[in-house]
Structure 1
């Protein structure tokens, strides 16, 4: 069955990999992004979409209605990387992270839920992070934002289920992508740590995208697409002393690095 899919942030990273997977199997795909048409995967169409702009979301909805006649899957993928120690992050940092990572997804859901209700079908896919389920130190803004996306998704799961609308929340750990490019240097030490974790990951966006598409097809709610995400999630739930010890160890390493002025 051909599906109609909108992927935000679909011109790079995981978004591009997801858009390419859907397009390759014959789905009608609209990529919402700020990058322009040059980076859009083959077989997909482009829509300029700043996820912090209500007007851009409305324009995307109008195009979906006119060209697709509806929508089957909305992938709220666009987001930014963030990290840093609490005393290094100012109010502008927090506003930027929450505006993009939380309110961007919220606005997408607000915009398309009426269409899904009207259809009596649809699937919201919110890309969060393992950081929305487990909360390492020195990632407060990112942890808080992604935890909010997890909570949003669970609430919408129960709210929209009676309307025939499915919800999935995707929570990977670090994988190879260009996400580190969105770091703004609010805390250079922690930016270095995040960049190193992304670059050293054994998994790339293509592998994660394959697993996400399969999970969404199966209408799975919580999508943990990599082994590290599953270990982190289940250790917190079932082996809390071990989880706490790991988090304390991370906090201690950051403390030592700050005192030494070196890398964590």
Structure 2
């Protein structure tokens, strides 16, 4: 009986991950390096955070800065001469009722979570077109597909990331470029540390959802990496997210009643907090 051949070794890719000093970005950087990819982790700290492994390169990048993006592009070209996979992961958490959240909260999350993705795509699309190959992965959220009450700013920017990703998937396909969007539900991460807003009730609710999740950043990263390898256009990371998305698409009255009940709970909880 002939011996079976060993499994093929995965192709090593040149990968850039933003927001990679902690949370999902760090888990992705680690997982991709373990897979055999060459990974450049980027984040705001000027020096390499202790959590970033030695097997991963590190570069300071503030996704709000056009100059930082230009410098990152130069570093990639000087180091690797090209790029295969861009993961726009950097983001912050926010939430607030429309009459409570301040306008500066809106400006902040738009600049980081939305325009940070836009800047990344704009920076590396010309290179991918020149190569006639490349893969852009934008990390959105289930909030980009399913819009719970009290999260208008977060829902809006994540929905925009989903829309941009779908648009670019159609626009860039003729150039050999794949675009995927990741839509995870709540998972355990330090994202709650970035909450900074006027609506304390929503911040507390968001932190509880993160803390109570059964999934870790590493769990989610493993699923995301499989989705990237399969070049899926939309990567949903958990059963609850798939159920919620299907409920919205195929049973809209049930979905709407569920969300309105959530809105009523939020109103009661906020009133209780204000009067206690």
Same fold (TM over 0.5): yes
1:123 aligns to what? 135
Deviates more, 1:84-93 or 1:149-158: 84-93
Could you list the per-position Cα deviations for residues 225-245 of structure 1 after superposition, in whole angstroms to 9, with x for gaps in the alignment?
Answer: 111111111110011121111
Q: Secondary structure at the match of 1:39?
A: coil
Match of 1:187 among 186, 199, 203: 199
Could you list the per-position Cα deviations for residues 99-129 of structure 1 after superposition, in whole angstroms to 9, with x for gaps in the alignment?
Answer: 0000000000000000000000000000000
Match of 1:20 among 13, 26, 30: 30
Q: CA deviation at 1:259?
A: 2.8
Q: CA deviation at 1:205?
A: 0.4
Q: CA deviation at 1:87?
A: 0.8
Could you list the per-position Cα deviations for residues 234-264 of structure 1 after superposition, in whole angstroms to 9, with x for gaps in the alignment?
Answer: 110011121111101001111212332369x
Larger gyration radius, structure 1 or structure 2: 2
Structure 1 unaligned runs (5+)? none
Quick one: distance in 2 between partners of 1:107 and 1:176? 27
Q: CA deviation at 1:40?
A: 1.5
Q: Contact 2:95/2:197 (CA < 8 Å) preserved in 1?
A: no
2:153 aligns to what? 141
Quick one: distance in 1 between partners of 2:35 and 2:143? 31
Quick one: distance in 1 between partners of 2:148 and 2:194? 20
Q: Contact 1:20/1:42 (CA < 8 Å) preserved in 2?
A: no
Match of 1:4 among 14, 33, 57: 14
Quick one: distance in 1 between partners of 2:140 and 2:75? 26
Alignment of 1:84-163 (within 5 A): 84-163=96-175
| Root mean square deviation, CA, Å | 1.1
TM-score by length of 2: 0.93
Quick one: distance in 2 between partners of 1:41 and 1:15? 13
Quick one: distance in 2 between partners of 1:196 and 1:76? 26
Quick one: distance in 2 between partners of 1:213 and 1:18? 7
Structure 2 unaligned runs (5+)? 1-10
Q: CA deviation at 1:207?
A: 0.7
Match of 1:213 among 225, 229, 232: 225
Whether 1:66 and 2:66 are equivalent positions in the alignment is no
Q: CA deviation at 1:34?
A: 1.4
Quick one: distance in 2 between partners of 1:72 and 1:191? 37
Q: Contact 1:23/1:42 (CA < 8 Å) preserved in 2?
A: no
Could you list the per-position Cα deviations for residues 57-108 of structure 1 after superposition, in whole angstroms to 9, with x for gaps in the alignment?
Answer: 0111111111111000000000000101111111111000100000000000
TM-score by length of 1: 0.97
Quick one: distance in 2 between partners of 1:39 and 1:84? 31
**How many aligned positions are there?**
263
Q: Contact 1:16/1:41 (CA < 8 Å) preserved in 2?
A: no
1:81 aligns to what? 93
- Structure 1 segments (4+ residues) deviating >6 Å: none
Q: Contact 2:101/2:197 (CA < 8 Å) preserved in 1?
A: no
